[in-house]
């Protein structure tokens, strides 16, 4: 491991496979047995994709976007010993309100899972008279209590930072419209209590690089490194035959994450394997989580593929951050504080 380090926990059992060959110096490589989750993964669910995982109790746990056979997405719990083979609950996660009454969203998709202090937060997209962000908290993955929707519609791709910054919770999100949004920048918002949110700042927008020239959106929870917050996000290109979703990378300032220090002008991964190019929504690679190990600098990236599968890819923090720095191109709206 080089000079650039992950600041965080040791995860000895992190899924891992060494790089084999690799072309053109790409710092991210795919797991050789991808996809790790195939079609019809559990009764009543046609496809699992765009899902988030986290170390828990010496093993791994995750929240998974399951497309039910009625076509409506919901969130399912899954467990794994190795982070690669997953077992899913047949029942949807039973959300309740703060009084203990069932409080299920009409639909729920693209969950993220982030631990802040001793609480696990699930953040997803749901109906709130339009597409918006829903949230719940759990300590034990048995009781899931919904908390206030943080933002007005329309919004998607909200991702919490894994620790408070300057005493406040911080969350990335991507304001949108209610359809297949043809625009979108990443903002960051602050809260003292996870109920009231404010001090919204613009973080970064689409760029002149064609792979992210339509819109972008937060992906995995930011990884704390000695260079700043490493953000893996998705960038979208619009073609005559639809959108193409690639994975990009940026480094955010540690104390003021609305400021981008480095932003890689090249995608880190783009659809080219059969499970990324073929499926319910062809040509999608959509990162939602990483598992990362501070001892070795290893990063395992979990990404949805073609809205049909879960793929796994790997990188090492020094190689990945080094590549982002070496290929960095930032714009004025990236480096400013983002207040207007």
**Under the rule (CB under 8 A), what is the footprint of a second copy?**
105-106, 126-130, 148-155, 173, 175, 177-178, 183, 185, 187, 189-192, 195-200, 202, 205, 333, 338, 340
Of residues 6 and 172, the one with the C-beta less far from a second copy: 172
Q: What is the side-by-side order of every strand in the sheet holding 108-116?
A: 95-96, 144-147, 131-138, 119-127, 108-116
Closest separation in Å from C-beta 192 to a second copy: 7
Q: Is residue 259 a contact partner of residue 238, using CB atoms and an 8 Å limit?
A: no
Of residues 81 and 98, the one with the C-beta less far from a second copy: 98
Beta pairing, strands 260-263 & 242-252: antiparallel
Closest separation in Å from C-beta 226 to a second copy: 30
Of residues 77 and 133, the one with the C-beta less far from a second copy: 133
Of residues 170 and 268, the one with the C-beta less far from a second copy: 170
Please give the structure tokens belonging to residue 107.
């639909």
Closest separation in Å from C-beta 113 to a second copy: 21
Closest separation in Å from C-beta 29 to a second copy: 35
Q: Which residues pair with 113 in a beta bridge?
A: 122
Of residues 213 and 333, the one with the C-beta less far from a second copy: 333
In 3D, which of 67, 61, 69 has the Cα closest to residue 109? 67
Closest separation in Å from C-beta 47 to a second copy: 25
Of residues 258 and 290, the one with the C-beta less far from a second copy: 258
Please give the structure tokens belonging to residue 93.
């996660």
Closest separation in Å from C-beta 220 to a second copy: 21
Q: Which helix (H) or strand (E) holds 188?
A: strand 186-191
Please give the structure tokens belonging to residue 230.
């490493």
Of residues 197 and 267, the one with the C-beta less far from a second copy: 197
Q: Is residue 264 a contact partner of residue 252, using CB atoms and an 8 Å limit?
A: no
Of residues 56 and 243, the one with the C-beta less far from a second copy: 243
Alpha-carbon distance of 68 to 71, in angstroms, equals: 5
Residues contacting 24, CB < 8 A, separation 6+ = none
Of residues 185 and 277, the one with the C-beta less far from a second copy: 185
Closest separation in Å from C-beta 241 to a second copy: 24
Q: Which residues pair with 2 in a beta bridge?
A: none
Closest separation in Å from C-beta 303 to a second copy: 26
| Greatest Cα pair distance in the chain | 55
Q: Which residues pair with 126 in a beta bridge?
A: 108, 132
> CB neighbours (10 Å) of residue 327?
16
Residues contacting 142, CB < 8 A, separation 6+ = none
Closest separation in Å from C-beta 264 to a second copy: 21
> Which DSSP string do the residues of 236-294 spell out, in sequence order?
EEEETTEEEEEEEEEEE-SS-TTSEEEEBSS-SB-S-SHHHHSSSSSSBEEEEEEEE-T
């Amino acid at each position: 491991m080089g000079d650039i380090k992950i600041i965080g926990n040791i995860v000895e059992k992190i899924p891992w496979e060494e790089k084999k060959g690799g072309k053109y110096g790409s710092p991210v490589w795919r797991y050789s047995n991808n996809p790790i989750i195939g079609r019809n993964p559990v009764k009543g669910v046609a496809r699992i994709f765009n899902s988030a995982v986290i170390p828990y109790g010496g093993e791994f746990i995750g929240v998974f976007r399951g497309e039910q056979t009625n076509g409506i997405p919901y969130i399912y719990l899954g467990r794994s010993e190795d982070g690669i083979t997953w077992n899913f609950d047949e029942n949807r996660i039973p959300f309740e309100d703060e009084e203990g009454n069932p409080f299920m969203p009409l639909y729920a998709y693209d969950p993220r899972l982030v631990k802040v202090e001793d609480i696990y937060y699930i953040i997803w997209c749901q109906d709130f008279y339009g597409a918006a962000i829903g949230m719940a908290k759990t300590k034990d993955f048995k009781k899931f209590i919904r908390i206030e929707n943080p933002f007005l519609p329309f919004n998607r791709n909200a991702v919490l930072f894994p620790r408070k910054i300057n005493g406040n919770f911080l969350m990335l999100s991507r304001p949108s419209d209610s359809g297949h949004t043809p625009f979108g920048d990443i903002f960051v918002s602050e809260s003292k209590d996870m109920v009231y949110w404010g001090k919204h700042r613009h973080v970064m927008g689409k760029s002149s690089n064609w792979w992210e020239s339509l819109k972008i959106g937060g992906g995995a929870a930011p990884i704390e490194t000695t260079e700043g917050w490493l953000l893996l996000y998705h960038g979208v290109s619009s073609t005559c035959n639809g959108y193409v979703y690639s994975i990009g990378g940026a480094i955010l300032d540690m104390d003021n994450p609305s400021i981008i220090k480095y932003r890689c002008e090249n995608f880190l991964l783009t659809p080219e394997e059969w499970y990324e190019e073929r499926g319910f929504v062809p040509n999608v690679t959509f990162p939602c989580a990483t598992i990362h190990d501070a001892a070795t600098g290893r990063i395992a990236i979990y990404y949805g593929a073609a809205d049909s599968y879960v793929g796994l890819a790997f990188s090492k923090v020094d190689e990945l951050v080094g590549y982002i720095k070496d290929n960095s191109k930032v714009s004025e709206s990236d480096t400013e504080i983002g207040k207007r």
